């Protein structure tokens, strides 16, 4: 059977949730007061939308093959991503065999090296890469995890990220990751509030349920060290993304300074095998947390994960719905996954990329059977009710 070629690549944008899950309505827990690198500016302290965390919006990449098969994927890149796809990356895709994913990835990455390397450009390349894997799965009529060598477990288990770890425990998740709400700008009083919130949650969930802090790049080394030391009394399992992503030196120091047994994790805003090589060679963290929609896609995450395995590191991808589930299912060093609670009060399970994807599987009792991931590609469809725009063509 002749391998089809890529006939056309199309890039759409959409607002309101979806892959850019920070793009939510007012009052959502994810836009409450959460510590960020902008918290030192009082006018940007109370919500993250105030400084523009949701400016990008979702990018939808659709790839049509010569035999009519269509693959798609979504990521966080919005209009910028649509421009890059239509006006730059499409030339490396159209006319290529749909199986030549490594070749297309290498050309997309090297052609954008002069203005990319990380951030929204690699988010965009990731979105194209995920769409290519979806297309291949659609054509071969196989789920992506089968294309990656097959599952090593028959179900996935999840921790939940959100404002209510106590409710996540009742829903059967294996742990709860809380956004850190007070930044160093609020001084020792803010530190006390952070620890009080952890203490309160620990009192609700008992001693064995995992509790973690997500610090979203907002701290300095001294504050992070004091927070970790204070949190030991409440059994904090890990301190996540305490420092800005480029502070490899700070992470290496923090990992040496936290209480024995507490994990230092990071990586969701890191990209490519080279970025994660830095994290591992400098011994910055215990678990790496690449986002498959931001780090370079499945093609790059395969490389990152193999390197991590050689270092004896676990790879627990940042929450990215089906795009990470198919990967996690196939990796020995990915024993659990993240599920972001996207209900405004973090009080019920709703699809992570709601409302953009139809058939998006969600965990029940904190677990997801591989049988829920048996459809071709990533097993999801675009919601036709979502208002897609195509701002650029080529």
Between the CA of residue 343 and those of 49, 77, 145, 318, 387, what are the distances in Å? Answer: 17, 22, 28, 18, 21
Q: Is 22 annotated as a binding residue?
A: yes
Q: What is the largest CA-CA distance in the chain?
A: 67
CA–CA separation, 116 vs 118, rounded Å?
Answer: 6
**Per-residue contact string for residues 332-351; x = within reach of ligand L6UHLTYX by CB under 6 A:** ------x-x-----------
Question: Least separation, in Å, of the C-beta of 48 and Mg ion?
Answer: 13
Question: Least separation, in Å, of the C-beta of 237 and ligand L6UHLTYX?
Answer: 14
Between the CA of residue 22 and those of 48, 76, 161, 174, 204, what are the distances in Å? Answer: 9, 10, 13, 24, 27
Would you put residue 151 in left (φ > 0), alpha (ψ -120 to 50) or beta? beta
Contact, 121 vs 360, CB < 8 A?
Answer: no
| Number of residues located near ligand L6UHLTYX, criterion CB under 6 A | 11
**164: contact with ligand L6UHLTYX by CB under 6 A:** no
CA–CA separation, 13 vs 11, rounded Å?
Answer: 7
**179: contact with ligand L6UHLTYX by CB under 6 A:** yes
Q: Is 268 annotated as a binding residue?
A: yes
- In this chain, which of 17, 143, 319, 361 binds ligand L6UHLTYX, going by CB under 6 A? 319
Instruction: For the beta carbon of residue 250, count every other beta carbon within 10 angstroms.
Output: 18
**Residue 34 or 315 with smaller CB distance to ligand L6UHLTYX:** 34
**Per-residue contact string for residues 232-271; x = within reach of ligand L6UHLTYX by CB under 6 A:** ------------------------------------x---
28 is catalytic: no
Question: Least separation, in Å, of the C-beta of 157 and Mg ion?
Answer: 18
Question: Least separation, in Å, of the C-beta of 364 and ligand L6UHLTYX?
Answer: 20
**65: contact with ligand L6UHLTYX by CB under 6 A:** no
Which residue's C-beta sits nearest to Mg ion? 214
The partner in contact with residue 186, picked from ligand L6UHLTYX, Mg ion, none with C-beta cut-offs of 5 to 8 angstroms by kind, is: none
Nearest Cα to Cα of residue 382 among 183, 131, 85: 131
The partner in contact with residue 34, picked from Mg ion, ligand L6UHLTYX, none with C-beta cut-offs of 5 to 8 angstroms by kind, is: ligand L6UHLTYX
Q: What number of CA atoms fall less than 13 Å from residue 324's CA on the CB side? A: 31
| Annotated catalytic residue, options 145, 182, 269, 318 | 318
CA–CA separation, 196 vs 112, rounded Å?
Answer: 46
Q: What is the DSSP letter of 95?
A: T
- In this chain, which of 214, 270, 291, 360 binds Mg ion, going by CB under 5 A? 214
Within 219-278, the residues that bind Mg ion by CB under 5 A are 240-241, 268
Contact, 315 vs 338, CB < 8 A?
Answer: no
Question: Least separation, in Å, of the C-beta of 114 and ligand L6UHLTYX?
Answer: 29
- In this chain, which of 11, 14, 19, 30 binds ligand L6UHLTYX, going by CB under 6 A? 30
Torsion of CA 157, 159, 162, 166, to 10 degrees: 100
Instruction: For the beta carbon of residue 189, count every other beta carbon within 10 angstroms.
Output: 9
- In this chain, which of 12, 105, 216, 238 binds ligand L6UHLTYX, going by CB under 6 A? 216
Helix H segments across the chain? Answer: 78-84, 90-93, 101-111, 119-140, 144-147, 165-170, 187-205, 221-231, 248-257, 272-281, 298-310, 321-328
Contact, 294 vs 269, CB < 8 A?
Answer: yes
Interacting residues with Mg ion (CB under 5 A): 214, 240-241, 268
Q: Which residues are annotated as a binding site for substrate?
A: 22, 48, 338
Name the residues annotated as catalytic.
318
Residues in touch with ligand L6UHLTYX (CB under 6 A): 30, 34, 161, 179, 214, 216, 268, 318-319, 338, 340
């Amino acid at each position: 059977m002749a391998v089809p070629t890529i006939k056309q690549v199309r890039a759409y944008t959409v607002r309101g949730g979806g892959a850019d899950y920070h793009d939510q309505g007012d009052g959502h827990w994810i836009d409450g007061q959460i510590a960020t690198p902008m918290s030192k500016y009082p006018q940007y302290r109370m919500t993250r939308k105030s400084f523009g965390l949701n400016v990008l919006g979702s990018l939808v990449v659709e790839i049509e093959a010569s035999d009519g098969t269509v693959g798609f994927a979504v990521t966080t890149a919005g209009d910028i991503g649509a421009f890059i796809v239509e006006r730059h990356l499409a030339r490396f895709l159209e006319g290529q065999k749909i199986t030549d994913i490594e070749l297309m990835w290498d050309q997309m990455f090297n052609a954008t090296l002069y203005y990319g390397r990380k951030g929204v450009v690699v988010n965009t390349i990731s979105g194209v890469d995920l769409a290519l894997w979806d297309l291949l799965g659609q054509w071969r009529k196989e789920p992506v995890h089968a294309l990656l060598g097959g599952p090593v477990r028959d179900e996935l288990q999840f921790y939940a990220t959100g404002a209510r770890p106590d409710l996540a425990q009742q829903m059967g998740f294996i742990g709860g990751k809380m956004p850190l709400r007070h930044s160093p700008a609020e001084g020792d009083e803010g530190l006390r509030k952070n620890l009080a919130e952890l203490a309160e949650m620990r009192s609700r969930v008992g001693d064995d349920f995992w509790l973690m802090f997500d610090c979203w790049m907002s701290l300095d080394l001294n504050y992070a060290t004091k927070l970790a030391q204070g949190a030991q009394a409440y059994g904090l399992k890990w301190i996540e993304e305490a420092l800005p992503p480029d502070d490899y030196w700070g992470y290496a120091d923090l990992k040496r300074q936290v209480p024995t047994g507490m994990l230092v994790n990071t990586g969701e805003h890191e990209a490519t095998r080279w970025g994660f090589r830095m994290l591992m060679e400098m011994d910055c963290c215990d678990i790496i947390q690449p986002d498959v929609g931001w780090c370079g896609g499945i093609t790059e995450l395969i490389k990152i994960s193999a390197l991590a395995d050689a270092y004896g590191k676990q790879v627990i991808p940042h929450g990215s719905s089906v795009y990470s589930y198919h990967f996690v299912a196939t990796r020995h060093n990915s024993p659990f996954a993240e599920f972001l609670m996207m209900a405004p009060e973090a009080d019920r399970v709703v699809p992570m990329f709601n409302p953009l994807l139809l058939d998006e599987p969600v965990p029940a009792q904190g677990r997801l059977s591989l049988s829920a991931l048996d459809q071709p590609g990533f097993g999801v469809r675009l919601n036709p009710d979502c208002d897609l725009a195509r701002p650029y063509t080529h």
